[in-house]
Amino acid sequence: MRLIFTVVFAFLASAAGAQYKGKVFLDVNKNKTWDAGEKGMKGVLVSDGLNVLKTDANGNFTLPGHAKNRFVFVTVPAGYKLAAKHYLKIEDQVQAYNFGLLPDPTSAGSSVKMLQITDTETDKYKDWITNLKNFSKNQEVSFIVHTGDICYEKGLNFHANQVTSEALGKQVFYCIGNHDLVKGAYGEELFENLFGPVYYSFDAGPAHFIVTPMRSGDVQPSYTVDEVIRWMKNDLAATDKNKPVIIFNHDLLTYSDQFVLKGKNDSINLNENNLKAWVYGHWHNNFVRKSDKTGIQYISSASPSMGGIDNSAGQFLSIEIDQNGVKEIKPHYTYLHDHLVVNSPSGSDMVLVKDGSLMISANIYDTENAPKSAKSIIYDEKGNQIAIAALAANTDWSWYGKVPVNKMSKGKAYTIQTEVIYQDGREYIQKQAFTLPLNTQNVANPGVGSVNKSSKSKNANDEQVGSLSLKWINNVKGSVWKGSPILAEGKLFVATIDDANNLQCGISALDPSTGKILWHYKTRNSIKHALSYDGGTILGTDMEGFTYALKASNGTLIWKKDLGMKSLPGYVSGGIVEKGIYYTGYGSYLQALEVATGKTIWINKDWNGGEGTPEKMTIAGEVLITGSNWQSLFGHDRKTGKLLWKRSDEGLRFRSSTGIYAAGKLYITGLNSIFILDPLTGKNIDKIDGTYDFKVMASPLITDKYLIMPTSTDGVVAYDLKTLKEVWNRPTGDALVYSAPYTGPGAGTVESTVVKYANQLLFAASDGHLYVIHEDSGEVLQKLNLGAPVFADPTIHGKQFFLADFAGNVYGFDIK
């Protein structure tokens, strides 16, 4: 025992007493090696994982080392980038740890732009990687940070070869996530071999950036939180106190205002160190909030490679940092290139003339480069130019314009040519045909023409039905996720989101006859799901768990209530109202509120945790149905809040869809099954085991003959209501934006619920099209190209049909 102790002590003493020398230099000839005559750089921070010091006047340093050091790494200074890597592995044969730097204008100046990617979880090359490369080049991005879950051995090796600084042309820094701690001598061994140390820092623009590791994961790491804290204290002590600090980690440290990192024996209060933002992933969702008390921003993104766990749109974030912290955040939805659809005027069904002008609406999007300007030119049948209009941007997708119709003839065919100029100067042009309606006195086209006129049902016993004709379109200046239009008191109400800067989120009221915006109420964060209406009051709950009760007549706030959300996940579910009670919230802040006053009637005490689920609660008799993604489906007594039952088996813990209560039964989906449950007990009455993935936000539609259900990858499927056998499947095109969990290219996703009119079924899909199909066959009767994905459910009232797309366009159609 004494001999073993002596050997170990000698090893630790030797390791602790080791010295690591080197130089930080300007690599003039870019050969990644220090050559005589190349200037050393003064005042650059270097570290051995515990000690942090600055280089001397000649760029030289000597680090003392410590018992667990495995790397020497450099804090890249603002205005520079690495010639090679930011770290060197400590090895006996290395005599000098030299770091070459190159000037980098994108890292200099009073502000700097970076990209965040996270939770890519793939070992396959897809276009999102090309998107990153080209966007970084076009937008003068300084660096890219991957905030973890790269994922497992295959993913780690793939990213180390394909998602690198060399491949993307920008500095790429990696955080370690819980699924990046894998089998080895210790959990982070493979990560270190591929990406270097799990904690380090760098400077860019006016800010100091710190990469920190996940506390734990699939395999136990060798590092401790105390070790990270000790290094971080040294790093911050050597950093200019006036620099804003931005921290990257795979998960959020705390939802509270005080960012105190605690270990077993040590702690650090980051609020006292000029912390301005904590950028993270892990939850696979899009959520940004800012503390009222501290101004610290909490920034999360879904994956750029696929849809989020809570059906968040796949994206990466560009984040601009200045002296005050976060200046601007922008989401960028992947896989889109030169996407341009003029949804009006288009064909004969989508043509609007108002007050003597032809109204132009276009959805334009390119992942890699934002449009700088757009214009539309109208040509007659002979190719003569008769009108031109500059288009103005409403959102990051939607552009509007108008041209006079005094030179156009009713019933004649025309061509609209739309030209987009991107910020890099590149131009893209697209042409399409339309026909000016015979009657241009009204806003809407009164024609009944169908895109697929020959696809009318041939069954002689079918009802005679018409088609959709656009009556109006207007943009609400914010994206619409699941905030479906609801009709009440002669108004149409829509909820908007802003997952970046929390500026365009709110509740808008529109005139259902014209689309005119009657009022708008700004909320503090995104209202992701559908609103509710009760007795003159509009109700909605935002991502931070704040509930708003507004007067439907004028948007005046009646009351506002903080439900007490104190931890993640953000609130993405939809509340429901019945008999003067509004049911909203999630987990420990799930509660029943009195509509008139906001008073809490009961609050859930029986469960918490899991991920957010984008379902809307269901009232099934006396039972309130709600859920937690990756945990359980729950049945509560709606009068008392008492938990009656929960189910996590048979894929019911993985779900996004709202249940439907019909004939005393609850119809609800799991991962790839449709369940018919007894709402009082939660037990199966029947079940459809299919080959489809049902993890979408859409609800089942129950008709007198069929059960209709959208899918994540294969459009819409119909089952015979009596036999539960599949009748037909209507595929859709590939999604423009991927939202269903873990879906990517090739997924024909439908997040929007199907509605019924006569013998027709109407729905919009993530491919940007609005479908009218035959109920009995799934045959397409009409297909209109909106040009933006639709996640929100449509609303049908008599012969009026209302819809909102992700670009923030709200559409009013007549059913002719």
Residue 483: CB partners within 8 Å, gap ≥ 6?
A: 494, 495, 496, 497, 527, 528, 529, 530, 531, 540, 792, 804
Of 277, 301, 333, the last residue of a domain is 333
pTM of the model: 0.94
pLDDT of 466 reads 63
Element (H, E) at 234: helix 225-237
Mean pLDDT of 15-25: 82
pLDDT of 569 reads 95
Between residues 99 and 461, the one the model is more confident about: 99
Within-domain flag for 573: no
Domain count, the chain: 3
Query: At 318, which CATH number?
Result: 3.60.21.10
Backbone phi, then psi, for 6, in 5-degree steps? Answer: -65, -45
Within-domain flag for 723: yes
Same domain, 281 and 381: no
Within-domain flag for 98: yes
Please tell me the distance from the alpha carbon of residue 162 to that of residue 146, in angstroms, as a whole number.
Answer: 13
Same domain, 129 and 228: yes
Same domain, 361 and 298: no
End-to-end CA distance of the chain: 91
pLDDT tens per residue, range 793-811: 999 999 999 999 999 999 9
pLDDT of 465 reads 57
Within-domain flag for 275: yes
Of 435, 459, 493, the last residue of a domain is 435
Q: Does residue 436 contact residue 410 with C-beta atoms inside 8 Å?
A: yes
Mean pLDDT of 539-553: 98
pLDDT tens per residue, range 506-532: 999 999 999 999 999 999 999 999 999
Within-domain flag for 725: yes
Mean pLDDT of 142-170: 97
pLDDT of 445 reads 35
Query: At 388, which CATH number?
Result: 2.60.40.2550
Angle at CA of residue 775, ends 770 and 777, nearest 5°: 100
Residue 350: domain span: 339-435
Mean pLDDT of 350-364: 96
Of 378, 408, 435, the last residue of a domain is 435
Residue 35 confidence class, pLDDT cut points 50, 70, 90: very high
Q: Is the model's pLDDT at 620 over the cut of 70?
A: yes
pLDDT tens per residue, range 731-747: 999 999 999 999 999 99
pLDDT of 816 reads 86
Same domain, 263 and 408: no
Compute the half-sphere exposure of residue 520: CA atoms within 13 Å on the CB side of its CA. Answer: 14
Nearest CA among 310, 618, 635, 735 for reference residue 482: 310
